[in-house]
């Protein structure tokens, strides 16, 4: 089957919250990334994707986002270990807190960057650029 992963493109004041993944991470270590993580098994559950992404945001960088999330897109990929992953990206708007690398085993550093800074950054992988381009277009519809 699949591992289900959620991520958030978090927007505030014309900037996006981006992390540099810990170099210890198996997948894309040292690369820039959106914030997110794996869905835990819960049995019968509602809003599991939305709750997972909010939990992961708080666990990794210590901030809260507004309740309303917007679906951006989904992708699938295979990890270096051969695990099949379905990744679901949401658009989220910052609510409160000061972002920091709360989980150093997962997050090397935290930064607020403009769209152009992320797109031009040498450590921005193609999947981040694609997700952010889609999130940017969706975000413009809501502003």
Q: Is 58 helix (H, G, I), strand (E, B) or coil?
A: helix
The Cα 143–Cα 141 span in angstroms is 6
Percent of the chain whose pLDDT exceeds 90: 80
pLDDT digits (tens, 9 = 90+) for 1-59: 899 999 999 999 999 999 998 766 666 667 899 999 999 988 888 999 999 999 999 99
The Cα 8–Cα 89 span in angstroms is 6
pLDDT digits (tens, 9 = 90+) for 93-137: 999 999 999 988 888 999 999 999 999 999 999 999 999 999 999
Show me where the domains of the chain are located.
3-142
What superfamily in CATH does domain 3-142 come from?
Nucleoside Triphosphate Pyrophosphohydrolase (3.90.79.10)
């Amino acid at each position: 089957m699949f591992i289900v992963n959620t991520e958030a493109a978090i927007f505030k004041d014309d900037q996006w919250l981006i992390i540099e993944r810990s170099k210890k991470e198996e997948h894309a270590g040292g690369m820039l990334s959106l914030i997110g993580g794996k869905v835990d098994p819960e049995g019968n559950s509602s809003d599991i994707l939305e709750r997972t992404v909010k939990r992961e945001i708080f666990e990794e960088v210590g901030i809260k986002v507004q309740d309303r999330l917007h679906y951006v897109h989904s992708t699938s990929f295979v990890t270096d270990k051969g695990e099949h992953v379905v990744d679901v990206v949401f658009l989220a708007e910052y609510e409160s807190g000061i972002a920091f690398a709360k989980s150093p085993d997962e997050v090397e550093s935290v930064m607020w960057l403009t769209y152009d800074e992320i797109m031009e950054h040498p450590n921005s992988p193609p999947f981040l650029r694609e997700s952010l381009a889609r999130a940017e277009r969706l975000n413009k519809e809501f502003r």
